[in-house]
C-alpha cells in the first residue's frame, strides 16, 4: 500500500515527459502592390517535410552535398485562403484590412479551438523601393504549438 503513491508519482512524471510538443506554421501574404493587382492569401501546408532530407553538411575537409532536387521540397497539398489586397485603384483600402483581420481572426480562433496555442507571430515587409518598383508584400507567420 505504501508503494501506491510512489507508483502514481512515477507514472505522472512519465506522462509529462512523454508529451512532445508539435508546431505548425501558417503564413499570411498580403499584397501591397498598387491598383489592387497583387494576390493576398493565407497558406497552410497539409503535408510535412523532414528538413534533414534537404540539408547539406559542409566542412573544411569534406563537402557532403544533398542531391535533393528542388522540386522535392515543394509542397503540393496546401490550403489557400483568399484575402483582400491592401490597395485598389483609389489607394489604401481600410475595409480590406478590416476584412483580412476578420478572416485571420477566424483562422486563429479555429486553430485555438482545435487545441493549438498561438505561440509566436513574426512579420516582415518588402515594400515599394522607388518610382519603378510596383512590387511589395506584407508577410506574417503564425506559429502554433500544442
Residue-wise pLDDT tens digits, 87-101 = 877 778 899 999 999
Q: According to the model, what pLDDT value does residue 115 have?
A: 97
Asked whether the whole model's pTM tops 0.85, one would answer: no
Which stretches of the chain drop beneath a pLDDT of 50?
none
**How many whole angstroms separate alpha carbon 60 and alpha carbon 113?**
49
Domain ranges of the chain: 20-145
Give the strand pairing for 63-64 and 57-58. Answer: antiparallel
**How many whole angstroms separate alpha carbon 32 and alpha carbon 127?**
7
Grid cell of 101 as nine digits = 483581420
Residues 55-87: b if buried by 16+ CB within 10 A, e if exposed: eeeeeeeeeeeeeeeeeeeeeeeeeeeebbbbb
Amino acid at each position: 500500500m505504501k508503494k501506491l503513491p510512489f507508483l502514481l508519482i512515477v507514472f505522472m512524471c512519465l506522462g509529462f515527459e512523454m508529451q512532445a510538443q508539435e508546431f505548425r506554421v501558417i503564413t499570411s501574404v498580403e499584397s501591397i502592390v498598387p491598383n489592387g493587382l497583387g494576390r493576398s492569401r493565407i497558406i497552410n501546408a497539409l503535408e510535412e517535410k523532414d528538413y534533414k532530407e534537404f540539408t547539406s553538411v559542409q566542412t573544411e575537409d569534406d563537402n557532403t552535398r544533398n542531391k535533393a532536387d528542388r522540386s522535392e521540397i515543394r509542397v503540393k497539398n496546401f490550403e489557400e485562403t483568399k484575402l483582400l489586397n491592401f490597395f485598389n485603384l483609389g489607394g489604401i483600402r481600410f475595409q480590406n484590412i478590416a476584412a483580412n483581420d476578420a478572416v485571420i481572426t477566424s483562422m486563429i480562433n479555429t486553430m485555438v479551438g482545435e487545441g493549438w496555442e498561438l505561440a509566436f507571430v513574426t512579420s516582415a515587409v518588402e515594400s515599394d523601393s522607388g518610382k519603378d518598383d510596383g512590387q511589395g508584400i506584407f508577410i506574417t507567420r503564425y506559429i502554433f504549438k500544442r
